[in-house]
Structure 1
Amino acid sequence: MATSRTLRRIALVGAVLAVGAALPTSATGLRTHATASVSTVNAPVRDGSPRSAVDRVADFYGAYIDVLYDSGRGRLADSLREHYLTARLRADLARWEKAHHKDGVLRAKGVPAAWKVVYNDSGMGHCWTRVTLTWEDAGNGVHHMRLLVRSDLDTQLISGIQIAS
């Protein structure tokens, strides 16, 4: 029986194939990019690789924050945690959240307005990334929280989250 994650992946692949089929074909037989009517000169480039621990952390935080922003903590947020975080980290986060009454992934209450992930260091089978979360408060302006996130290079799973000093 197909899981809901498998069904979502199948739907995503179908959507990508449908878009690719709609693109015009050049004389060489390769698909060409459709011309956009909006200038993309200053558009930020976003790319990634499933083999990059840093990209996986960025993918997780981007998706997790989007889900919290759109619908709050629920099944989808929990599914993202299950997919990207080690079982031990999930258990540690549950204990931390019970004690602090905050989201352990964000180490805060509320949903940040922006996030940024950069490589920090690696060694001993781990990669560390710095995650900067940005909140915009009407009365207090903008403030940031910086996290140090550890990933296991063998599994590419996030195995530790702490506030960066």
Structure 2
Amino acid sequence: MSKSTRALRRPGRRAAVAAGLVLAVGLGVSTQAVAQAAAPTPTKASAAASAAASAKATAAPRSITGFNGDLLTQTADFYGAYVDAKDDAAGPDTKLAKALRTHYLTPAYAKRLTAWEKKNNLDGVLRAQNVPVEWTVSESRNGLDVIVSLTYGGGESPTTTTRFVVKHEVAGGITDIRPTSAAPAKPSAAKRSVSGRTGDSVTRIADFYGAYVDAKDDAAGPDTKLAKALRTHYLTPAYAKRLAAWEKKNNLDGVLRAQNVPVDWTVSEGRDSREIRVTHAFGGGETPTVTTDLVVKLEPVSGDVTDIRRTSTH
């Protein structure tokens, strides 16, 4: 119904209510009783909306968890950080995109992908010219394959989803990215998935920490080029300078607040949109022995990191 139609109906409704009041007073009925009778009763729709709002208010904070050395996590780290690099407000961060491709793609596939891009005039990692608004990385039925779903479009209703099979060699590097019509395995206790949203604070910090852990834990030794590119992209220049001074004084990695690399990590919402919580578990095997909790503060406009502080170790 249009606004003009509603405007035409309102005077008639008010007149009917007024007439009812006059009639009721004439019959000796109190205006309070009429007001109570005229008041709308709660509908199922309003009750449902109230319940939904209550559920939203009590919902657990959103979080993303990664496991060091896990192919699903590494692929999510790669795609998440790559999307961030391509979607930078100042224009694509080509240094970060290049460092990510060098780290995660095998040299042979990187060469083939460049040739494919030249021929097709598309970004070979995304298989598109633009950047997705959402992405999901899921396990497949083959342990060395991962399913990546990229959703494109604007607003709350993305319009197109493309799906790829990302193949890995046993050592972990990506050897192929191919479109597929196969649906990813449904998430369950046995099949995991990781999802992110472009521009979302939790996603961005998970992308940063996930890729940073991968860079620091590279089998050939720390990938300093990728680590530097990540810090340049995600940290404000002022904080990057302060962090370097802190590291020199404390002999620790300032991003991780440690000398070694965590075996798993979780990034979750903080008290407000400018604060993200990061939990790192350190140790060997299936039972990490030390857990550290960090608070990562964000610049309100750009979303870049302005501070990292350790709140507890246990």
Q: Look up the match of 2:125.
A: 12
Q: Tell whether the 8 Å contact from 1:149 to 1:158 is kept in structure 2 after alignment.
A: yes
1:79 counterpart SS class? helix
Length-normalised TM-score, structure 1: 0.77
TM-fit CA distance, 1:88 = 0.9
1:64 aligns with 2:212: yes
Whichever residue aligns with residue 164 of structure 2, its letter is: V
Q: Look up the match of 1:23.
A: 180
Q: Look up the match of 1:41.
A: 188
Among 250, 253, 257, the alignment partner of 1:103 is 253
TM-fit CA distance, 1:110 = 0.8
Aligned-pair identity (%)? 32
1:127 aligns with 2:274: yes
Q: Look up the match of 1:152.
A: 299
1:87 aligns with 2:237: yes
Among 188, 194, 199, the alignment partner of 1:51 is 199
Q: Deviations over 1:105-147 (max 9, x none)?
A: 011101111110111112xxx6111111110148x95111111
2:202 counterpart SS class? helix
- Cα RMSD after superposing both structures: 3.0
Matched residues, number: 150
Gapped regions of structure 1 (runs ≥ 5): 25-32
Whichever residue aligns with residue 126 of structure 2, its letter is: V
2:282 counterpart SS class? strand
Change beyond 3 A, Cα 1:95–1:19: same
2:268 counterpart SS class? strand
TM-fit CA distance, 1:159 = 1.1
Whichever residue aligns with residue 239 of structure 2, its letter is: L
Change beyond 3 A, Cα 1:103–1:153: same
Whichever residue aligns with residue 254 of structure 2, its letter is: G
Q: Distance in 2 between matches of 1:40 and 1:5?
A: 31
1:12 counterpart SS class? coil
Q: Tell whether the 8 Å contact from 1:85 to 1:159 is kept in structure 2 after alignment.
A: yes
Gapped regions of structure 2 (runs ≥ 5): 1-92, 102-121, 129-147, 149-161, 166-177
Q: Look up the match of 1:117.
A: 267
Length-normalised TM-score, structure 2: 0.42
Q: Distance in 2 between matches of 1:118 and 1:19?
A: 27
TM-fit CA distance, 1:158 = 1.1
1:106 counterpart SS class? coil
TM-fit CA distance, 1:89 = 1.1
Change beyond 3 A, Cα 1:59–1:41: same
Q: Tell whether the 8 Å contact from 1:53 to 1:153 is kept in structure 2 after alignment.
A: no
TM-fit CA distance, 1:45 = 2.9
Q: Distance in 2 between matches of 1:58 and 1:23?
A: 26
TM-fit CA distance, 1:5 = 4.0
TM-fit CA distance, 1:148 = 0.6
Q: Look up the match of 1:28.
A: none
Change beyond 3 A, Cα 1:69–1:23: same
TM-fit CA distance, 1:3 = 3.9
Whichever residue aligns with residue 227 of structure 2, its letter is: A
1:129 counterpart SS class? strand
